[in-house]
A and B are shown apart, each in its own frame.
Chain A
Amino acid sequence: MAKRPLQEINAGSMADIAFLLLIFFLVTTTMSTNTGMQRKLPPIPEIDVEPPPVKERNVMVILVNKDNVIAIRGRPIALNNITEKAKIFFSNPNKSEDLPEFRFKDIPFFGNHPVSKGLVSLQTDRNTSYEKYLQVQNELVRAINELRDELSLKKFGMKFEDLDDDKQDAVGDAIPLAISEAEPRRMTGTGGN
């Protein structure tokens, strides 16, 4: 019996099929990757538990009012000065009496290291614009990141983001991200229930 040669499959339509897939993916996908600022909300406190008293020197209240004017401890401040102010607040370089205290904490790599008790409380009005709020948050996070970078450079000779996970945790413990996302004023009972 004569063997017939295998017939080649016509690949001419392959391009059409590939084009079809290509166009499908072009339509259903987006180019943008998501970036964002990660934060942690505090859990809802138990009703009966009084919040622990906090000394006035350990809290920095930042207020953004309905006209998007920023004030720190009652004094107006420009957006680009916040980082500097927050860094001084958290690091308290001169051990000043009206800036936060330190408590000593055992941290790996650092031993008994002073950790600032400072807490930034960011308060807004219901009419504050979200953009302004996020800008202020951004400045505060920048302050923390710069402090962490400085500490990492001093201790390990590397920037914070180049450290391995254990060291990042240690530096993160030494300089915590102490920004309170606490409930705003005049918020009680308007949660939407």
Chain B
Amino acid sequence: MAKFAKKGKTGTPAISTASLPDIVFMLLFFFMTVTTMKEVDLKIQVRNPKATEVKKLENKSLISYIYVGTPNKKYQAKYGKEAVIQLDDAFARVRDIGPYIAAQRAAMDAESRSKMTTALKIDKGTKMGIVTDIKQELRRAKALKITYTADKTSKEDFF
């Protein structure tokens, strides 16, 4: 008499999840390398203008940011619909820029102070009035290296 092995549980064996952590870690490292930390919570709308002759900003620690744009919906009741300035996480006026730059400069060590750059993130719909005010204030604060942030575009799309 043939002996048949008694079949136990049949059906597909469970898929091993042992490699799942490896896969997830791989994803994690990918995102850690290609992304950057958010600088601030923007309370204003900043749509970058487009330009062709742009360079990548380097040395993130040497850059201080000035944001200009129209306030988001929920702040419009208080701050109006005109373009305003945001420094760090708060709304600011032009005269606050001087002290802000001084504070940023004081936080740096002596040799990197000369390399300090101010990045102007300005909404493309902004009027030049406020931009020139900011530029004058930066000249007064002796923060002469500036960068107008803009998205890179091809020459064909530019015109």
Contact = CB atoms under 8 A, between A and B. Distances in A.
B31 to A, nearest CB: 5
Nearest to A131: B124
Interface residues of A, number: 54
A79 B50 CA distance: 14
B55 interface: yes
Given A31-B34, A35-B152, A40-B144, A134 B159 contact: no
Tell me what chain B mostly uses at the interface: helix, strand, loop, or mixed.
mixed
B82 to A, nearest CB: 12
B31 A25 contact: yes
Given A15-B24, A18-B21, A184 B132 contact: yes
Contacts of B152: 35
Interface in A1-60: 11-12, 14-15, 17-19, 21-22, 25-26, 28-44
A192 B137 contact: yes
A39 to B, nearest CB: 6
A187 to B, nearest CB: 6
A21 B26 CA distance: 12
Contacts of B122: 130
A43 B52 contact: no
Contacts of A36: 54-55, 57, 119, 147-150
Interface of B: 17-18, 20-21, 24-25, 27-28, 31-32, 34-38, 49, 51-57, 63, 93-95, 117, 119, 122-129, 131-133, 135-140, 142-152, 158-159
Interface of A: 11-12, 14-15, 17-19, 21-22, 25-26, 28-44, 79-80, 124-131, 133-135, 137-138, 141-142, 145, 181, 183-184, 187, 190-193
